[in-house]
Structure 1
Amino acid sequence: MKRKVFVTSGCIILSALFLTGCAGLHKLDNPYEFSERTALYQSASVAGKSEPFAHDLCVVSEDTADSDDAVTAEAAAVFDLSDNTVLFAKNPFEKLYPASITKIMTALLVIKNGSLPDEVTVPKEAVIKESGASLCGIKPGDELTMEQLLYGLLIPSGNDAGAAIAVNMAGSIDQFAQMMNDEAKELGATGTHFVNPHGLSDEDHYTTAYDLYLIFNEALKYPEFRKIIGTAEYRTSYQGSNGKTVNAVWKGTNWYMTGERSTPDGLTVLGGKTGTTLSAGSCLIMGSSDPSNKEYISVVLKATDHAGLYDNMSNILNKIVE
């Protein structure tokens, strides 16, 4: 029988490819007690409407936070989108480094505010020199559509695609990061701060498991986003800086979709985003559905390695069907 954790109606509160990150980043400060964090949502409301801020969201309260010895990652959670209930939550408000899961927000901004058919000339900022950083292989002067860049961003987790998107949309990485933070604030992601569009490590670039649910939940409202994250391999052609055609094959990083790990029985993976740096550990957020077409968002942050990431994710996914 599926176990659900509910919040009473009278208490509405909100609660990859390997990327080499900076090993020297410190453990993030987490200044808010659980009650202080959720109090922010108790007083929040939708502008111009009488409904509480969280009236159509999954919510977490102190007595719904759970423990499970099989879940060894620093933070993890499962959200039932059909019933707006929380099936499991471990450290949902702890500030952690998100690595390439950051790219969900980047994609959301493109889909909400950009135009996918727009032609983009790859800028010099797309040159990523950090050792081990995942790339889709674009070069300054190449010409692609914004839609192609989104596939390059989300499928092979191209940091170069993220930089190209940011400069094209906002004029600079810093200005795009401000757009990201404005959107996070609008969504109620108060434990989040971004400084870049891709998630390469920075002490001021952090989020929480719950905030990632808020961002991913918003992104799932767009069919274009669902189509891209549901793609395991993408083949495309674009014009290189030398005028010649470049043929690219971009492969996904989600082991459930690539067949490297079996999805728990009774569930179908809709798609998602991995992320890994030395500071963030191994991370994954994704959507799934059951045979009755109920949908779920699950997130694991700071697992020790890729194998442990999928062990943790399978353990929390099993809470949907148990």
Structure 2
Amino acid sequence: MRLNKKIKVISSLLVLISLTGCSSSSNALMKYSNSDTSVVQYITTNDTDDEYANLLGEDLCVIPLKSDKGGDGNLAAEATLLVNNTDNEMLYAENVYEKLYPASITKVMTALVTLKNADLSDMVTVSYEASHITEVGASLCGLKEGDKINLKDLLNIFLISSGNDAGIAIAEHVAGSEEAFTKMMNEEAKAIGATHSNFANSHGLHDENHYTTAYDIYLIFREALQEPTFVDIIATKSYKVTYSNSNGDKVDKEFSTTNLYLKGNEVMPDGITVIGGKTGTTIKAGSCLVLYSKDKSDKEYISVILKSDSKTSLYSQMSYLLKFIYK
């Protein structure tokens, strides 16, 4: 899937985008500040030929702050969003501008920055830092210091199995350090209009200064879907990889997706095909999920649920949310 237009950024503090097809009958300018305490403000105009017309983005669903269609008791997560990405139409939205922790959904932005800035044929050498994550419960690919692995393979196992060690290895290879890579992540976020996000690492392990919103995740995920390699990876159920360790010996491993729809552990709603997505879980973030799905007419949808209280509840709510496609 290719999307024809990108958001045009005026500055890091001001993004102007159109509301066509989403929630307003008039043209509009949206001031979406990156200040932590700011709110979304709208300046509407009926003049389609005014000086701002050439600044408006196209093919984007913009959700005004007070237009939430939330309140359904079956959707109890902190933030929920469902967008018809073909028609740029909001189908359900609740608390989509609330600042929340993304957990491993962070990896979508890491993948996007990597695909835009790196050669996937590169060989990556795993560092001490990448191979020594000590946080209890952190998802790991089991990489060891000195391992040499192809970047495309590394990106696959990173997204499919959600290994945090792979995230640091990718960041260090692409930018020289994780700190430099997170700067690239934040620059990319602003460039696509996700100005209420701040990334402090490449993997999503908890950091108080690492946050986003459901709407920003929509923007980031939507941009990533323009990369065919990204779509191929998130649709992959399992991935076999061969790489070499520090002694030059071959290591063979297979990694399985964390997406329970692809695994077959969760049943997709009737008439809906889940293509792929990204999961995320930490204590502070709760259980999170962003999905790319299609209906029987091949229309495309992006759905986001943040901070559900359990994995079971997360998938129950996501299946319920996807049924809004036919309501």
Q: TM-score, normalised by structure 2?
A: 0.87
Measured after TM superposition, the shift of residue 312 of structure 1 is: 1.3
Deviations 1:126-157 (A, max 9, x none): 12111110011111111111101111210110
Contact 2:40–2:65 (Cα < 8 Å) also in 1: no
User: What one-letter code is carried by the residue in structure 1 that aligns with 2:112?
Assistant: L
Structure with bigger RCO (C-alpha 8 Å, 6+ apart)? 1
Contact 2:241–2:254 (Cα < 8 Å) also in 1: yes
Contact 1:144–1:238 (Cα < 8 Å) also in 2: yes
Measured after TM superposition, the shift of residue 56 of structure 1 is: 1.8
Query: 1:38-57, aligned counterparts within 5 Å?
Result: 38-39=41-42, 50-57=53-60
Contact 1:140–1:241 (Cα < 8 Å) also in 2: yes
> 1:24 maps to which residue?
none
> 1:23 maps to which residue?
none
> 1:100 maps to which residue?
104
Contact 2:235–2:277 (Cα < 8 Å) also in 1: yes
Q: Aligned to 2:214, which of 209, 212, 217? A: 209
| Distance (whole Å) between structure 2 residues aligned to residue 296 and residue 14 of structure 1 | 25
Contact 2:242–2:251 (Cα < 8 Å) also in 1: yes
User: What one-letter code is carried by the residue in structure 2 that aligns with 1:90?
Assistant: E
Query: 1:10-159, aligned counterparts within 5 Å?
Result: 10-11=27-28, 13=30, 31-32=37-38, 36-39=39-42, 50-67=53-70, 68-126=72-130, 127-159=132-164
Contact 1:14–1:61 (Cα < 8 Å) also in 2: no
Q: Paired residues, what number? A: 298
Measured after TM superposition, the shift of residue 186 of structure 1 is: 0.4
Change in CA separation of 1:304 and 1:238 when aligned onto 2, cut-off 3 Å: same
Q: TM-score, normalised by structure 1?
A: 0.88
Measured after TM superposition, the shift of residue 269 of structure 1 is: 0.9
Q: Which runs of 5+ in 2 are unaligned?
A: 1-20, 46-51
Q: Aligned to 1:7, which of 24, 28, 42? A: 24
Measured after TM superposition, the shift of residue 8 of structure 1 is: 1.9
> 2:224 maps to which residue?
219
Q: Aligned to 2:275, which of 260, 264, 270? A: 270
Q: Aligned to 1:249, which of 251, 254, 268? A: 254
Q: Aligned to 2:320, which of 312, 315, 318? A: 315
Change in CA separation of 1:14 and 1:233 when aligned onto 2, cut-off 3 Å: farther
User: What one-letter code is carried by the residue in structure 1 that aligns with 2:110?
Assistant: T
Deviations 1:47-96 (A, max 9, x none): xx954444221110245311211110000101111111111100000000
User: What one-letter code is carried by the residue in structure 2 that aligns with 1:7?
Assistant: S
Measured after TM superposition, the shift of residue 31 of structure 1 is: 2.1
Measured after TM superposition, the shift of residue 13 of structure 1 is: 4.2
Measured after TM superposition, the shift of residue 37 of structure 1 is: 1.7
> 2:297 maps to which residue?
292
> 1:26 maps to which residue?
none
| Distance (whole Å) between structure 2 residues aligned to residue 133 and residue 121 of structure 1 | 21
| Distance (whole Å) between structure 2 residues aligned to residue 200 and residue 77 of structure 1 | 23
| Distance (whole Å) between structure 1 residues aligned to residue 126 and residue 40 of structure 2 | 40
Say what the alpha-carbon RMSD is for the aligned residues: 2.1
| Distance (whole Å) between structure 2 residues aligned to residue 39 and residue 113 of structure 1 | 34
User: What one-letter code is carried by the residue in structure 1 that aligns with 2:67?
Assistant: T
Deviations 1:198-243 (A, max 9, x none): 0000000000000000000000001100000000111111111221
| Percent identity of equivalent pairs | 48
1:236 aligns with 2:253: no
1:199 aligns with 2:216: no
